Structures are given as C-alpha cells and as structure tokens.
Amino acid sequence: MKKITFLLVVILMAIVGETFAQGVVTGTVFDAESNAPLPGANILEARTSNGTTADFDGKFSIKVNNPTGTINISYVGFKSKNITFDVTNGNQDLGTISLDLDNSLEEIVIVGSGIVDLAEDRKTPIAVSTIKASEIQEKTGNFDLPEILKSTPSVQNIKGGGFGDGSMFLRGFDQTNTAFLLNGQPINGMEDGKMYWSNWSGVLDVANAVQVQRGLGSSKLAISSVGGTVNIVTKTIDNKEGGFIQQMVGNDNYTKSTAYYSTGVNEKGWSFSALFGHWQGDGYVDFTSGQGQTYFFSVGYQPNENHSINFLLTGAPQWHASAGRGSIAEFLENGRKYNSWNFNAAGSPNKIEGGLYPGGRNIYHKPVSNLAWDWTIDEQSSLSTVLYGSLGRGAFASAITDRDTGELQYARGSYNNHNWYGVISNYNRQLSDNLEFNFGADVRTYNGIHFRGVTEFIGVQSVDANSELLGEYSLTNSYGGINPWNMVFNPNKDNNQRFGYNYEEIITYYGTFGQLEYSKDSFSAFFQGSISNQDHQVTDSFNYEKETKSDKVSNIGYNIKGGAAYIISDAHKVFANAGYYSRQPFHDDLFDNIRESVNLINPAVDNQTITGLEVGYQFKGEKISANLNAYHTIWDNRTVLDNNGEDQETTEYESYQTQGVKQIHKGVELEVLTSPFENLRLNGFISIGDWVYDGNASQRTFDGNGTEKGEKEEIKIDGFKVGGAAQVTAGISSKYIIAPRFVIDANWNWYNDLYSQGSLTKKSLALPSYNTVDTGLSYKVLVGKEDKNSIQFRFNLNNVFDEVYLESVFGNEEASSNIEENYKGVNTSNNGRFGYGRTWNVSLRYNF
C-alpha cells in the first residue's frame, strides 16, 4: 500500500511539474556608452535565488522557475535594470539590454563607511559633484588632483611651477579653508591647514571616486571647513581578482610606470591589493625636474557578514625642483617657462638639467596608514572606526651662495617633520522607520618638528652656526641628500647639527559630533552638531639658554548645521541648509613669529566665525538633469599672515599679521547634465560669485628678524575684492562614442572676474579673463577569453589652442600711465605666473 501511495505522489508531482514547466529567458547585455558586451553581468530571477552570468559576448540564458516574473540585470559600475518576462507560451528572447553607467557610489566597497561622509549617505541634499574612477584614470595624466576638479562648479585649479605644486580654490576659498579627507581621515596640515599635492600623487592611481561637497557639506566630523569638503575614496577591498599595468609618457620627458594587482576576496574572507609606480620628468617650467615613487598596500578581512576590516598603507616619496617667482616683465621677456631660480652646480651630484642647482627643491616622504573596522551590530545599528597615523619627513632645500663670490656653498634644508596619529569612530542607529541617529568621536595628536640643517654640502665641507643654547658650533653632517627614502629613516635628532631655528610643537585635538536625520514620504530634515578642543604648546631648543616651553593654549570650537528637503515629484526636489561654525585659529596664527619666540600673540587670536546659508533645486529627467544652488557665506575674525612684504622706503623684507578680517562670499551655481543623443553626453556649468572683504582690520608689521615695527594700525579693506580665483567661471564638457569602445571627449573652461593676491593694505588688481580647451581620445580592445582582459589607449591634449594667460598675480601695483609697462592692463612690475601652454600625455594600460 505504501509503495502504491508513493507511486501516485510521484506521478502527481510529474503532472504538476509539466503543467508549470520551466521556460528559458535569453538576452545580451551591453554597455550603453561603448556599445560593448558586458561579460560577467549578473542575471537574477526576482524573489528567487535562481541566477546566472553573461558569457564573454554578454549573452545569457536562464531557466526561470515561474511562467511570468521579473529578472534583475546588474553589473558593477552600471545601473541595474528590471525586465519582465513571460514564458507561458514558450521561451522568450529579451534581445539587447543596455546598461547605463552608474554615477552613484553604491557599487564601491568602502570600509569605514560610517566615517567616509559621502553625500549619498544622507537624504537631505547638498551642493555636490562626484568624479568616478574611470574619469580620474583618463584625465589625470601628469597633473594633480585639482586638475580633474576644474570642470565642477566654483572650482579653480592653479597648476603652480613644479610637480605637485598645484592648488585649488573652492567658492573663492583656498586649500587651507577646504577640508580634504582620505577615506574619512583628515589630511590638511594640522599647523596651517595647507595641502601639498606632491605628498598625495599616488592616491589618484587607486581612487575609486572623488566627491566635492561645496559649502556646508555632509561631513559629520568635528571639522569646520569654509569652502567645502573634498572626499577622496580609495580602493580598499576589491570583490573581484584583477589588476592593471600602465605606461604613460608626456611632454618634457615625463614618464610614469604603474602596476596594480588585487586578489579579490577569497573563500575565507581575505583580500590583498598592492600598487607600485615610478615617475620622473623635466617639468613644464624650465629647471623644475623631479622624480618619485608611489606605493599602496591593502589587506582586507571579512570574517562574516557583520564585520569588515581593512589595513591600508600608502605613500609618495618624491623630490622636485621649484620655480621661483618673477615679475610679469621677466616672463614676457623670457617666455612663460622662465625660471630664474637656479645656480651653477659644478660641485653637486644633484644638479638638474643644464648643469644647474635649483634655488629651491622639495624633498618629502609621508607614509600614511589606517586600520578601518565596520561592525554591523544588528539590523538597526552599526559602528565604524578608523585608526590612522602618518610620519612626515622632509625639507625644502634652498641653495645658499657665498655673499661675496656668489659661489654655491650648500643646500640649506628647512625641515618640517611630524608624527601624526588619530582615531575616528561613528555609531549609527536607526531609531525608527523615519529617524536615524549618528554619534562619534574625532581625536588627533600631532608632533611637529621644525629646524634647519644641511641637506647637501657643495662648495664647503662644514657650516658655522651659533645659538643661545649651544653657543658657537659647526655643522658637518648632511641629512639624506635629496633621497626622500633616506628622510624617513634618518630622524635628524642631533641638535648640534641644526641651525637657524629648532623647535617642536604638540597639537592635541579631540571632539565629538552627532547627527539626527528624519525622513518620511517626500520630506527629510537633518541636524548636526559638534564640539572640539585644541591644545597647543611649543618647545624651543635654539633661542634660549635652556630648552623653553611656551604656555599651553586651549581653544574650544563648535559647529551646528541643519537642513531640510522636499520632493515635489519624481523629477523635482528643493532643499535648504544653514550652519554656524566657531572655528579655532590655526596653530601658526597663535604664536609671535614662531621661529623666534614661544610667546603667544598679545592680544590673543580669537576663534573665527563662519555663517553659511544655501538653497538648492534639483531636476532629474530622462535626457537631462540639473542642479541649481545659491549660497551666502560670512567668514569673520580671521587672521591673515603675509610673508611677502617689502618696506617701500628701505626695500627691506617685512611680514604682516592682519587680524579681524571679514569676508563675504555669495553666488549662484548651475550644473546641467544631458544625453541629447544615444552616443553623446553633454554637460555644462556656470558659477557666478561675488566675494569681497567687509569692514576694516588691524595690522602688525615685522622686520626680517621677526621684530615688531611700530604700532598696530587699522587698515581699510571694505569692498576690496577677494583674489586668487575667478569669481565667474563656466565650462562645457562633452563625450562622444565614435564606435564601440572608441570615445572622444573635450572640455572648455572660462574664467572671468579674476583678481590678484597680495598685501591687504591695497586693493587687489583686476586680471584679464581667459579660457582653455582640453581634449582626449580613448580606445579599448578586448583581448583573450577572460571577461575583463583589455588593452586601453588614452591620449590627452591640454590647452589645445595654446592660450597665453596670467594664472595668478601676487601684487597690488596699479597699472602704469606708460602703456608699455602694462600687460593687458596689469602693471608688469607685479609678480605673476603664466599658465601652462599646450601639454600632452599618452598612456597604454593592460587590464587583467
């Protein structure tokens, strides 16, 4: 009886199975941009575990479990698609399915995700632009990070003279007042907020994305940027095995070789990735050669779905010769590549092209490491923690000559070493369906070590020196020459081999931050707050008979910001954000000519205050999307240090410290992103700003020895234009697919209402407007049977029409009545720098 029953059940199941017979769905997955197949694309039947992947030609075939339903098609870096199927009457061929590139960051694996404050993590929008890995790879070439950001609203890139000397302005604020983060780790200088891109040349080789948050930003850290926040997100854990080998060459004998490999995540949750590169070149400006290496090493471990750990180590040891400033007249006479800052180098093995020794050479190595841990505690809460540290070792080496004979004697290194450690932790809790809470801590300690020493003996074997502490003595040791690797392993601890100045500072920073975000239906709102304290203390080992410490000074700062957004419809969204910062002064603002004294400035420098307001509108359509933002920022009570002054009567060197400076920056930004045709992408932006100084300020003057001259005086700066960056900018970028995997692109940038920088005792000068055009060509060839193997060719041509333009001017000398002494309305006695002419680079990359 049991056997008969069992047989009946089997027959019944067979009948049912025949009734609901499985059908087969087929199709081909393509990249919408390059019209190339996407081998390895994932195909999953919705609400089931039934799935498959596309073959080398992008084709797939899946036996579905249901007669009707939906399949999801996805590929890393592309927007996924849901396609309905119906196999009731037989198998179905879906034909060609094109996936668009995903401009979001969802596909990027980020460890320390609670620390890396990306705009997409918050429902209330901000003014933001994101540059993905593919664009970074194509357009960086032999330039620094600011170069690839210039096609975003309110950003201007200044290339500078030598390798790594570039800088950027954001809404008119320089780099010291823009927060830069590497995987959530603050990387602005602790003493002065400065950024030196030569120390970070390797991060673009491993960058997954760079996000520019203009204005208040989305950062939850206890940082208070004025212009905005730039998040650099690097590779950490790669889900898939692979890598690349790349060779690049460019103008002025530039060459760069790079290799990268990642194991992907193995069955036990481990992953390893590493990169190494070497570059060298003569430099666009005369006598600015340089060379260096980049390295990156990452170890990831995912023991289970609740924990992800990653250790990262990266660095970019390098040296490069610098370009000295010159008057506009000198450049007009000698050409825009002119560099007067060099000497006969017959006695030096470290001479540059032409047998010359540079007047200044930067040598630095800054290894950076961090350990990140993400812990998913439960369905409602998570904790992210990043422990980091860096060791900065290096100097700016200045050529020193004999005052009588002019012969080159030695290279004097101004050493700026540091030991920097910190930890950031963020706890996230979903309090309800509509309310999310974040709370965290940000702690940093920084030991800066500053002195002068001999980098290299050239015409002499020793240098005489004296100090209050050591009396008279001789320097007979040089520290590392121009080898940046030697800098790390040579600690320069001997006080009797230091001269000029010798001091250290300890800066301790600790803060807490929190955020609440509410969202329901079409409305969202957030509130953020933070409070922090900075301790500063200086120890001088040169200017006193015994080692002397300053008083410890502590400053408390805080910020609050909030905002709200309303979704009018699927295509329309509006938002508004406001914030107030009480920001501690930089360490270098606190002490009375720090190289000569441990005394605090009297009266003491108070906190700066920043008030920001921004409103925005976002439109998202099928063929076009747009972002419109308006902002108003008040930056008050700032201290400005000017080390480039000169006494008008005696022509002696002077420096100025100006307190109580107030700036008002306001403007409007429009960004439009379009796809008018299937093979064409056309984007554009325009930024209109009005940045001025407001009210008056008080100024102190110091001579070349750091001694104050005269009394503090009030200076009138009301209405002066803020210089350094163009207040009106616009740009158009395009990309056209000529054929599958064959793409041409171009960018046009226009800069107007540009003003000079200089002493605040005079108003800034209006500079001529200019525009540049860049273009590029990419071609990719699929090779082998592996779905990811390819050879990629890239060509970049910058400043196609060889535009001659003044990139920056330092000076306030008004136009001369003699027209021959002016250049496009600017007095040629002012110091300036012309922008780069036509440059190029070509790269060949093998992806595997």
The residue type found at 618 is: Q
pLDDT tens digits, 135-158: 887 877 778 888 888 888 999 999
pLDDT tens digits, 333-344: 999 999 988 888
**pLDDT score of 408:** 92
Q: Would you state the structure tokens that stand for residue 259, as one six-digit string?
A: 């290799």
What is the maximum span of the chain, computed from C-alpha positions, in angstroms?
120
**pLDDT score of 77:** 59
Q: Would you state the structure tokens that stand for residue 727, as one six-digit string?
A: 């207040």
**pLDDT score of 114:** 58
Q: Would you state the structure tokens that stand for residue 98, as one six-digit string?
A: 């094109």
The residue type found at 263 is: T
- Using alpha carbons, select from 839, 814, 831 the residue that is nearest to residue 331: 831
Confidence category of residue 685, pLDDT binned at 50, 70, 90: very high
Cite the DSSP H helix spans in 214-347: 328-334
Q: Are strands 342-344 and 127-132 parallel, antiparallel or unpaired?
A: unpaired
Q: Would you state the structure tokens that stand for residue 339, as one six-digit string?
A: 């560099």
CA distance 830 to 821: 11
pLDDT of 21 above 80:
no
**pLDDT score of 678:** 75
Confidence category of residue 6, pLDDT binned at 50, 70, 90: very low
CA angle centred on 385, ends 381 and 391, rounded to 5°: 170
Phi/psi for 150 (5° steps) reads -70, -15
Confidence category of residue 378, pLDDT binned at 50, 70, 90: very high
The residue type found at 736 is: Y
Please state, for a pLDDT cut of 90, what percent of the chain lies above it: 52
Considering the entire predicted model, what is its pTM?
Answer: 0.84
Coarse DSSP helix, strand, coil percentages of the chain, rounded to the nearest 5 percent: 10, 55, 35
Return the number of other C-beta atoms located less than 10 Å from residue 815's C-beta: 17
Q: Would you state the structure tokens that stand for residue 53, as one six-digit string?
A: 């992947």
Q: Would you state the structure tokens that stand for residue 460, as one six-digit string?
A: 């002499």
Is the previous residue joined to 146 through a cis bond, with omega within 30 degrees of 0? no
| Average pLDDT of span 357-364 | 93
pLDDT of 718 above 80:
yes
288 contact partners, CB below 8 Å, separation of at least 6 = 161, 162, 163, 282, 320, 321, 322, 323, 339, 358
728 contact partners, CB below 8 Å, separation of at least 6 = 686, 687, 688, 689, 751, 752, 753
Return the number of other C-beta atoms located less than 10 Å from residue 143's C-beta: 24
226 contact partners, CB below 8 Å, separation of at least 6 = 173, 177, 178, 581, 583, 610, 633, 635
**pLDDT score of 771:** 96
| Average pLDDT of span 367-388 | 93
pLDDT of 473 above 50:
yes
**183-197, 274-288, 382-396: the lowest-pLDDT one:** 183-197
pLDDT of 498 above 80:
yes
pLDDT of 25 above 80:
yes
35 contact partners, CB below 8 Å, separation of at least 6 = 737, 739, 740, 741
**pLDDT score of 18:** 40
**39-48, 311-320, 649-658, 764-773: the lowest-pLDDT one:** 649-658
List 579's β-bridge partners, or say none.
561, 612
**pLDDT score of 45:** 87
Confidence category of residue 652, pLDDT binned at 50, 70, 90: low
List 755's β-bridge partners, or say none.
766
pLDDT of 809 above 90:
yes
pLDDT of 785 above 90:
no
CA distance 511 to 401: 48
Tell me the Cα Rg of the chain: 30
The residue type found at 332 is: L
**pLDDT score of 8:** 42
Cite the DSSP H helix spans in 456-547: 484-489
| Average pLDDT of span 62-90 | 84
Q: Would you state the structure tokens that stand for residue 603, as one six-digit string?
A: 């009266």
Cite the DSSP H helix spans in 475-565: 484-489
The residue type found at 391 is: L
- Which position has the higher pLDDT, 710 or 585? 585
| Average pLDDT of span 187-215 | 86
Q: Would you state the structure tokens that stand for residue 491, as one six-digit string?
A: 């600690």
Q: How far is CA 433 from CA 375, 521, 532, in A?
A: 21, 11, 31
**pLDDT score of 52:** 85
CA distance 99 to 240: 20
Its sign, for the CA torsion 210, 213, 214, 219, is negative
- Using alpha carbons, select from 570, 581, 592 the residue that is nearest to residue 635: 581
**pLDDT score of 650:** 47
Q: Would you state the structure tokens that stand for residue 430, as one six-digit string?
A: 């979903």
Q: Tell me which DSSP letter residue 678 carries.
A: T
pLDDT tens digits, 433-466: 999 999 999 999 999 999 999 999 998 999 999 9
| Average pLDDT of span 750-774 | 93
CA distance 680 to 732: 13
Find out whether 116 and 183 touch, Cβ atoms under 8 Å: yes
pLDDT of 696 above 60:
yes
Q: Would you state the structure tokens that stand for residue 790, as one six-digit string?
A: 């390819």
pLDDT of 20 above 50:
no
Three-state secondary structure string covering 36-87: CECCCCEEEECCCCCEEECCCCCEEEEECCCCEEEEEEECCCECCEEEEEEC
The H or E element containing residue 259 is strand 254-262
pLDDT of 720 above 60:
yes
Return the number of other C-beta atoms located less than 10 Å from residue 523's C-beta: 14
pLDDT tens digits, 724-748: 999 999 999 999 988 878 899 999 9
What value does the mean pLDDT of the chain take? 86
Find out whether 554 and 561 touch, Cβ atoms under 8 Å: no
pLDDT of 10 above 80:
no
**pLDDT score of 111:** 62
**pLDDT score of 119:** 63
CA distance 439 to 701: 45
- Which position has the higher pLDDT, 266 or 109? 266
pLDDT tens digits, 608-623: 999 999 999 999 887 8
Question: Which residue ranges form the domains of the chain, and what is each CATH number?
Answer: 2-99 (2.60.40.10), 119-234 (2.170.130.10), 242-847 (2.40.170.20)
- Using alpha carbons, select from 452, 253, 285 the residue that is nearest to residue 358: 285
Confidence category of residue 279, pLDDT binned at 50, 70, 90: very high
Could you report how far apart the first and last alpha carbons of the chain are, in Å?
A: 63
pLDDT of 833 above 80:
yes
Q: Would you state the structure tokens that stand for residue 389, as one six-digit string?
A: 């540290």
pLDDT of 12 above 70:
no
**pLDDT score of 801:** 97
Find out whether 816 and 825 touch, Cβ atoms under 8 Å: no
